[in-house]
Amino acid sequence: MERLKTELCGIPLDNPVIPASGTFGFGREFAELYDINVLGTFSFKGTTRESRFGNPTPRIAECTAGMLNAVGLQNPGVEAVIAEELPRMKQFFSKPVMANVSGFSVQEYVETTALLDREEQVGWLEVNVSCPNVHGGGMSFGTDPEAASTVTRAVKAVTKKPVIVKLSPNVTDIVAIAKACEDAGADGISLINTLLGMRIDLKTGRPVLANRTGGFSGPAVFPVALRMVYQVACAVGIPVVGMGGVSSAEDVIEMMMAGAVAVEVGAANLVDPFACKRIIETLPEVMDRYGIRTLREIIGTAARSDA
C-alpha cells in the first residue's frame, strides 16, 4: 500500500514496521506463523564475532508495564550466521534484512561488519553500541561520544552498506552522542535500546536476574523513547529509527511525528508473536481516523510545529 511506504537510508520500505533485534531471532519461528514479508524489514539477532552462550539464568524478570532481560547477546557467531542463518532466511524472506552487530572491542565490530558487508541480503548494518546486558562491551561504547564516534568511523571504513548506530538511553546527553556518530559518518541512528533496571526477590533479598541488572523494555518506556527520538531527530540530519515500548499503530504514528522514518517493535513481539502483523494491518484505519494520507507526510511534524 503506497500510503504506508517510507525509506531508510535510501532503501525503500513497504511500511515502517521493523521487529527489533533480540525479539525476532532470525525470523524463522515467526515465518512459521505468518508471511513475514508483510514487514518493512527486520533486525536479526545481535551478532558478534564469536559465538556466545549469553548470561547465566535466570535472564528474564517481569515488571509492571514491561520486562527485564539479561540474555547477554546469545548468538552463534557471525560465521555461523553467514553459513547457516542467512541462506535459510532467503527461503522465507525476500527483502533486504537489517544485521545487528555487537562487539567487545573496536576490532570485533570491524571484523563482524566486514564479513556481513559481503552478504547480498543484508541491506543495513545496525551497529549496537548500547547493550546494557554484557560486561566489557556493548553499552560502554555508547555512553561516550568519542567512543561511539570511534566505532562508527571504524565500521564505516569496511562497509559500503548503510550504517545505523543504535544508541543507549542510559546517558546524560543522547544528542551529543548521536551528533558524534553523525560526524563520524553514520548513515542513520536507531534509539532507544533498553533502560537499565533491576528487580529483587522479596523472599531471598537477592536480585531476580543472575546478571543482577538487565534491560527494561515494554510500554512503560515509550514516553522516554519518544522524547529521545524527538531530541535526536531535531539535532541530526540523518534518518532516525525510533523504538522503545512500541506496541500499536498509534505508537508508530507518534514515533514518526517525533521524527522517526521507521519504527522498531521489540518487547511486544515477546508478548504477542503477531504484534507487528497486527500493527501493519491496523495502520490504515488509524491513519484514516486522524486524517493522515501518507506516513511520509507526518515524519517530524512535532518538530516542525515547534519551528
Q: Which residues are catalytic?
A: 131
C-alpha cell recorded at residue 39? 514487514
**At 288, phi and psi to the nearest 5?**
-60, -40
Query: What is the C-alpha to C-alpha distance for residues 205 and 55, in angstroms, rounded to an integer?
Result: 21
Query: What is the C-alpha to C-alpha distance for residues 118 and 187, in angstroms, rounded to an integer?
Result: 18
**Degrees (nearest 5) of the Cα angle 84, 109, 167?**
105
Tell me if 252 sits within 8 A of 18, measured CB to CB. Answer: no
C-alpha cell recorded at residue 191? 534509539
Would you call 100 exposed, middle or buried from its count of C-beta atoms within 10 A (0-12, 13-18, 19+)? buried
Nearest to 21 by CA among 148, 94, 129: 129
C-alpha cell recorded at residue 67? 520486562
Query: What is the C-alpha to C-alpha distance for residues 153 and 228, in angstroms, rounded to an integer?
Result: 23
